[in-house]
């Protein structure tokens, strides 16, 4: 008997992307991404943090009771969950001044969605945290709903950034609190 634990789901997303967790298929290499993206950071701070390694932040985008869920008086509840993974990549002076260099970074930034999608769709990848906390994600997988180059921030003489947003969906199964 429990409530949905969104904290464990976000924690597991971070683990898969930043800690080099070995999955049955399609692991993300350790050091590919780092935690450290916070809304309160300025664009300059985000850019500096992402200078060596792209920084990420998983966020809950939406949560609703699934149409496939049994009636409310049943103890089994299914939720449709959407998670956004924001990724910030550094743009330097070269990318600010030349479109070819900028295009390379933007292509890599959009590829991040594919890298994440392949890891999140590996069977059981998101079932439990490293500390064995159950996420209750059905089959332990999320599917890729899409990626978008959210925004580019560049100012002369300052480091810039490209922030992409990658959306993923899953079903979470919860046995209702009694």
Digit-coded pLDDT (tens) for 23-79: 767 788 888 999 988 878 888 888 889 999 999 999 999 999 999 888 877 888 999
Burial-class residue 49 by CB neighbours within 10 Å (0-12, 13-18, 19+): buried
**Where are the domains positioned within the chain?**
6-175
pLDDT of residue 3: 86
Q: Flag whether pLDDT at 173 surpasses 50.
A: yes
Decide which of 3.30.2000, 1.10.10, 3.40.50, 3.30.420 is the CATH code for 6-175: 3.30.2000
pLDDT of residue 1: 47
What pairs with residue 65 in β-bridges? 79
Contact 168, 82 (CB under 8 A): yes
Q: Which of 79, 73, 71 is nearest to 9 (CA)?
A: 79
Q: Flag whether pLDDT at 158 surpasses 60.
A: yes
Residue % of the chain over a pLDDT of 70: 97
């Amino acid at each position: 008997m429990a409530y949905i634990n969104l904290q464990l789901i976000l924690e597991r997303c971070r683990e898969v992307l930043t800690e080099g967790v070995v999955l049955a298929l399609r692991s993300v290499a350790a050091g590919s991404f780092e935690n450290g993206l916070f809304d309160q950071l300025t664009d300059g701070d985000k850019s500096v943090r992402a200078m060596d390694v792209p920084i990420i932040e998983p966020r809950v985008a939406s949560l609703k009771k699934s149409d496939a869920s049994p009636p409310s008086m049943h103890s089994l509840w299914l939720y449709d969950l959407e998670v956004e993974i924001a990724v910030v990549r550094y743009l330097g002076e070269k990318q600010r001044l030349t479109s070819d260099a900028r295009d390379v970074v933007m292509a890599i930034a959009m590829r991040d969605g594919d890298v994440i999608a392949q890891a999140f769709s590996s069977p059981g990848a998101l079932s439990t945290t490293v500390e064995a906390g159950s996420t209750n994600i059905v089959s332990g997988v999320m599917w890729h709903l899409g990626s978008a180059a959210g925004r580019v921030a560049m100012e002369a003489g300052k480091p810039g950034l490209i922030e992409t947003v990658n959306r993923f969906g899953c079903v979470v199964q919860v046995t209702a609190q009694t």
